[in-house]
Amino acid sequence: MAEKKVEQESRPDSNGMEKIVSLCKRRGFVFQGSEIYGGLAGIYDYGPNGVELLNNLKRLWWKANVYDKENYYGLDSGMFKHPKVWEASGHTSGFSDPLAECRECNTRIRVDKELEKVGVTADEKMSETEINQLFDAHREEIKCPKCGQKNFTPARAFNLLVKSNLGDFTSEGTEPVYLPGEACQGIYLNFKNVVDSMNPKIPFGIAQIGKAFRNEISPRNFLFRTREMEQADTQYFVKPNENKEAYELIKQDRWDWYLSIGIKEENLRWKQHENLVFYAKDAWDIEYNFPGGFDELEGIHDRSDYDLTQHMEYSGTDVRYTDPDNGEKYIPWILETSVGLGRMFMAVLSDAYHEDEVGGSQRTVLKLHKELAPYRVAVSPLLKNKPQLVEKAREVFAMLKKEFGNVAWDDNGNVGKRYRRQDEIGTPHCVTIDFDTLGEENPANKDTVTVRDRDTGEQVRVPVTDLIGYIQ
């Protein structure tokens, strides 16, 4: 019998973060890194359902940014890079956050973020002295988030790069090899290789999904600010000064992409950076309305010729592009899009999370876009101790698995419990093989199955032969 659905939908409120974190753990989406050892701050692991959602996000992002475009190329660069790369990029000198420590309980704070909370914006380009002047002027308003005291050390610039000891066999006299502070540097290093091997004509883009690491002072809000992250980046190379129109088109393209994966437009908004980071000419964020409020989801940056100019100077290699039509040589300008997959994952979950009532009971349901759901469909025999039902269900399962790949077999508990479980992980359809399928109750229904819709709770009978088309 079809379950009656009561409209009573909600997305998580300000306490919603806890609900999402709890769902993620309960249903195998995300676990705290090294949990059995007490955890490692700012590090998370994706579980069996999480990795499916994450891979689906990456697949759709890649499709939109490589396959659906004519002039974009993919790349996968190594994580470790020559030590000079991070000097050239400005990260060894400029990639820092102002850190102060509570003298009472040793809690570390990010001074710019604490100032922000009391309505004061610190410019990214401020020197240590300038930020301390601002900090001193507002010390009375800033309390330690742990002990509530106001007794802090002065702020000092804390570099966010994570050092490794790759190749450091003597520990003396070697420059540290850093883990990437941002994934995009691999694209700049390979710009010349891509030009030489693929002969693209400017304008063209390079897309990459890669890991980045930051020694964040205070990792927070679950996947929002982590120390290890994955960034999905595109870098679009244009002629100098031909940036404005392309920048607007790229901004629109990224906005539309979020709508295409089911994010509600009212949960997105634009924010232009007032204080630009050291490399940017212009920068806009797409912000998402996370459970705690609007915050940065993706950055879209006009980086001018900064990156390639720096790498040309530090490496001594001529990375200029030669226009095949007139032989003109120039350093292209770069328009960047960069989004952390963890933030994208959280935005998608927050958007999809609903609580409502179906069949007289409360449920939590993830209304995920069907291309994002960990499982496209779940298959169950009505009763698991009836061999004829199980055999038929196994046949249907094998057929669907061949077509879709990510198909769940679920024979645990009663049908109602299975539906609730699949709702919580966002499975769009549940297929049940019952006595009608065997033709035992109503011969007209032989070889049909019940297909139940996640969002409405409605159930329809579909002939097995039409099932793939129906689910598609």
Q: At closest approach, how far in Å is the CB of 415 from ligand GAP? A: 39
Q: Tell me how far apart the alpha carbons of residues 348 and 363 are, in angstroms, rounded to a whole number.
A: 19
Alpha carbon separation from 166 to 169, 227, 469 (Å, rounded): 8, 19, 52
119 to each of 113, 116, 466, how far by Cα in Å? 10, 5, 59
Residue at shortest CB range from ligand GAP: 340
**Considering the rule CB under 6 A, would residue 231 count as an interface residue with ligand GAP?**
yes
* Residue 140 exposed, middle or buried by CB count within 10 Å (0-12, 13-18, 19+): exposed
Q: Which residue has the tokens 């629109």?
A: 252
Separation in Å, CA 268 to CA 117, 222, 302 = 22, 20, 21
Closest CB to ligand GAP among residues 95, 375: 95
Q: Which of 334, 345, 331, 341 has the alpha carbon at shortest distance from 185?
A: 334
89 near ligand GAP (CB under 6 A): no
Pick the piece of the chain touching ligand GAP (CB under 6 A) from 24-32, 140-148, 333-341, 420-428: 333-341
Interface characters, 284-303, with ligand GAP (x: CB under 6 A): ------------xxxx----
Q: Does 205 bind ligand GAP (CB under 6 A)?
A: no
Question: Taking the complex as a whole, how short is the minimal distance between the CB of residue 133 and ligand GAP, in angstroms?
Answer: 26
Q: Is 434 in the site for ligand GAP (CB under 6 A)?
A: no
Tallying the residues shown for the chain, one arrives at 472
Q: Does 351 bind ligand GAP (CB under 6 A)?
A: no
Q: Is there binding between residue 65 and ligand GAP (CB under 6 A)?
A: no
423 binds ligand GAP (CB under 6 A): no
Q: Is the four-CA dihedral 289, 295, 297, 301 of positive or negative sign?
A: positive
Least distance from ligand GAP to the Cβ atom of residue 455, Å: 28
Beta carbon nearer to ligand GAP, 271 or 354: 271
The residue among 177 and 209 lying less far from ligand GAP, judged by its C-beta, is 209
Give the Cα separation of 117 and 350 in Å (integer). 23
**Please, which residue, 298 or 423, has the CB nearer to ligand GAP?**
298
Is there binding between residue 229 and ligand GAP (CB under 6 A)? Answer: yes
Q: Which of 182, 302, 351, 434 binds ligand GAP (CB under 6 A)?
A: 182
CB of 153 to ligand GAP, least distance (A): 23
Question: Phi-psi region for residue 340, left (φ > 0), alpha (ψ -120 to 50) or beta?
Answer: beta
Contact at 8 Å (CB) between 223 and 31? Answer: no
In the list 30, 75, 85, 184, the residue contacting ligand GAP (rule: CB under 6 A) is 184
214 counts as binding ligand GAP under rule CB under 6 A: yes
Q: Which stretch binds ligand GAP (CB under 6 A): 187-195, 332-340, 453-461, 463-471?
A: 332-340
SS3 at position 350: helix
Using CA atoms, how far apart are residues 67 and 60, in angstroms rounded to an integer?
A: 10
Concatenated DSSP letters for 249-308? HHHHHHHHHHHHTT--GGGEEEEE-SS--TT-SEEEEEEEEETTEEEEEEEEEEEETHHH
Q: Which is nearer to ligand GAP, 231 or 427 (CB)?
A: 231
List contacts with ligand GAP (CB under 6 A). 182, 184, 214, 216, 225-226, 229, 231, 296-299, 336, 338-340, 342-343
